[in-house]
Amino acid sequence: MVGDQFMLDGVFFYWFSWIFCVIILFFMKKGMQRTYLLYWVLISIMLVNQFINIDSYTLSMGFIVTFWGAFIGLASLGRTIYHLVISLVIMIGYAGLLLIEVNAPIWVFIPRYLFIAGTCTILISILTKDFYSRVMTTLVGLSSGEILYNFITANYFFPSVIGDLAFMDIMMIIVFLLFLMYQYQQLKYQLTVYLKYQSRI
């Protein structure tokens, strides 16, 4: 079971990353934002299996690229302090879920990917509304939570990789769920406008 889990780690990350690359390349308007997002995702894919050691911690290079890229994206948003506070809430929430999973695994009755991704998606949807701000606060919050969790557990468990493929999977599942929610809201809005227009004819 554990071996199968390790073999599956990274599947969601690679699938959804390439899906987003296609969406960004072919469906976004040309501009600096499209170029930035495309290179950001591609570099994260290329470096996700490259690692560096800082003191006793091992970090994925793809994780570092994702983290700093999200900070740059967060800085470009208005109301920076507000979005940083949201990221802080997400950080605490994500680290708390991981600690619950470790200390009371009997509470987790569904696969961890669905449990963590679903809970975080609901929390993020409540805290902020705009899709771009949701994504940036999510990435900053989750990455910070991953670091916080590893700092807390470093003295109790065998050190793990910060930003490993299991984390990248959960991160991309959440982003993909947010994307589906955004598309649903856009479709719902366009359908409402169309029906209102038809009712006036």
58-111 pLDDT, tens digit per residue, is 999 999 999 999 999 898 888 889 999 999 999 999 999 888 877 776 555 677
Closest CA to 12 of 108, 101, 102, 112: 112
Q: What is the mean pLDDT of the chain?
A: 87
Lowest mean pLDDT across 28-42, 99-113, 165-179: 99-113
6 CB contacts (<8 Å, ≥6 apart)?
A: none
Q: What is the CA radius of gyration of the chain?
A: 18
Query: Residue for token digits 């649903």?
Result: 184
Handedness of CA 140, 97, 49, 180 (dihedral sign): negative
> Percentage of residues in the chain with pLDDT exceeding 70?
91
* Mean pLDDT score, 9-14: 88
Extract the tokens encoding 71: 């900070």
pLDDT band at 155 (very low <50, low <70, confident <90, very high): confident
58 CB contacts (<8 Å, ≥6 apart)?
A: 51, 52, 159, 160, 161, 162
pLDDT value of residue 107 = 54
* Mean pLDDT score, 146-168: 86
pLDDT value of residue 195 = 82
* Mean pLDDT score, 135-142: 95
